Amino acid sequence: MLLFGAESNFWKVPTMTNELHEALERFNSLPDDAILPSRITGIILGVSERTIRYHPNLPRVQISRGRYGQRVGDIRKLCREGMPREAA
């Protein structure tokens, strides 16, 4: 039986992880050379991690074995300038 009243978890918004919360709180104070994990970059830009992986303006930087991220400066630049329009 599905309940959509007060007992249901259907409408609850998932809580942010500590890593995501800290990154978003400190994003404006981070230096341009700081590295954010690709997962956080995707959340900030509103795209999937796969899109981040293959985006031409967001070069990957290895953080550790199997973990990659992007420079905060590159993320800020993409936020300011937007996605480049591809030739049709």
Pairing state of beta strands 35-37 and 61-64?
unpaired
Chain-wide mean pLDDT for the chain?
Answer: 78
- In angstroms, the CA 80 to CA 78 distance is 5
DSSP conformation class of 5: S
Supply the pTM of this predicted model.
Answer: 0.68
Q: How many residues are present in the chain?
A: 88
Of the pLDDT bands very low, low, confident and very high (cuts 50, 70, 90), residue 14 is very low
Of the pLDDT bands very low, low, confident and very high (cuts 50, 70, 90), residue 71 is very high
